[in-house]
Amino acid sequence: MKRDIYAYITTVTLVVAAGFSLFLVISDNLLPFTTQATLKTTSVDVVPEVKGYIKDVFVKEGQHVEAGTPLFVIDKSEYEIDLQRAQATYLQAQSRWDKAQTYLKRVRVLSHNSSVSQEAYDDAYSDERAAKAAFMAAEADRNLAKLNLDRTLVKAKGTGIVTNLTYSKGMYVSPTTPVIHLVKNNDQWLEVDFTEKGLSALKTHNTVNIVYDAIPNQVYQGTIVSIDHAISSGLSAKNQLGQISNETRWIRPQQKIRVRVQPNQRPQEVVAGSRASVMVRDTMNVSDVWMTVLSWFRFVY
C-alpha cells in the first residue's frame, strides 16, 4: 500500500515536471515569457549655467514641479557687480561712438569743401568704425552679464518629480554639477529581455500581460512598441579585428533580445527600476491563466 502511494506521488511529480517543461518550451517559441523586465523612465539633470554658492533652495525631495517652477537660486552679488561694470563700459563705449560719429560727420562736410585732407577723413572714418566695434562688444558683454544674472535663478525646464536632492543652502555649484534630478513619471516604459527563440511571436502592437514584483495578485496589460534590431554582441565596429567566442559548453546560454513595452496603466506602487514579469497574450487565455498564477506567488517572493 505504502509502495503504491510512493509510486503514485512519483508519477504525479514526473508528469507535472514534464508538463511544466513542455509548457516552458512552448512558451519560449509561441508565447514568450520572461522575468527580466525593468520599468524605465526619463529624467532631466538640472545643471546650473553659472557657478556660485546656493543662496536658497525652493523645493524638497519628492515634490512635483511644473515647467518654470523656481528650484534654487545662486548668490547674485558677484553677477550684480559684473552687470554694473558691464553697464558702465557700455555707456562709455556708447559715448565714444557718438563722439566719433559726430566728428566723422563734421569731417565729411569739410572734406567735400576740400577743407581737410583725405587722410584726415580716412582717420575719422577708421576711428568711428573702431568706436562702433567697441560699442557692440560692450553691448554684448552687458547682455551676457544680464543673462548670467538671470541664470542665478534656476527654474525647471519641464514637469517632473524632484529626486536625489543632495544640495542645500551654502553649497558651491558649477555649470558641470547636476544639482537636482527631475523624474518624469508620465513617460514610463518597460525594458523587457526575451529569449531569441520567441522572435517570431514578438510583433509590434502585440499585447502582453505584466506582473510587477511589487504588486501581488494584479495582472496588467501593455503593448509592444518596438523590438531592438541589434544587441552589443551583434555590432561590428569599423577597423577592428573579428572577436571570436571561446564558448565550449554544449548547451549555450540563450541570447536575449531587448523589447520595449508600453504599459496601458501606470500603477502608483511602482517606481523607475521596479522589476516585472512579462508574457505575450494569446487567444487561448494560456497567458492570462499563467500570469494570474504567477501574480499569486508574488505574495511569497
Which grid coordinates belong to 194?
526575451
Nearest to 85 by CA among 146, 40, 19, 37: 146
Check whether residue 198 and residue 287 sit in a common domain. Answer: yes
The answer to whether residue 94 scores a pLDDT higher than 90 is yes
Inside any domain, residue 5: no
Cβ atoms 274, 212 nearer than 8 A: yes
- Which positions ≥6 away from 23 have C-beta within 8 Å? 290
> Is the residue at 6 inside a domain?
no
Same domain, 64 and 110: no
State pLDDT tens for residues 15-55.
Answer: 888 877 777 667 667 788 899 999 999 888 899 999 999 99
Main-chain phi, psi angles of 163, to 5 degrees: -135, 145
Distance CA(149)–CA(233), nearest Å, equals 49
Q: Considering the domain boundaries, does residue 204 fall inside one?
A: yes
Answer yes or no: do 257 and 286 share one domain: yes
What distance in Å separates the CA atoms of residue 195 and residue 211, rounded to the nearest whole number?
Answer: 18
Quick check: pTM over 0.75?
no
Share of the chain above pLDDT 70, in %: 88
- Predicted confidence (pLDDT) per residue in 201-233, tens digit: 888 999 999 999 999 999 999 999 998 887 765
Q: Please give the DSSP secondary-structure letter assigned to residue 52.
A: E
Q: How confident is the model at residue 238 (pLDDT cuts 50, 70, 90)?
A: low
Q: DSSP assignment, residue 113?
A: T
Q: What radius of gyration do the chain's Cα atoms show?
A: 35
Among 220, 180, 178, 227, residue whose Cα is nearest residue 205: 227
Please write down the HEC assignment for all residues of 233-296. Answer: HHCCCCCCCCCCCCCCCCCCCCCEEEEEEEECCCCCCCCCCCEEEEEECCCCCHHHHHHHHHHH
Domain that holds residue 67: 48-75+153-177
Query: pLDDT for 133-170, tens place per residue?
Result: 999 999 999 999 999 999 999 999 888 899 888 888 99
- 57 and 170 co-located in one domain: yes
What 3-state class would DSSP assign to 2? helix
Q: Please indicate, yes or no, if residue 208 is contained in any of the structural domains.
A: yes
**Helices 118-151/77-112 angle, 10° precision:** 160
Q: Report the candidate in 164, 185, 153 with the shortest Cα–Cα distance to residue 72.
A: 153
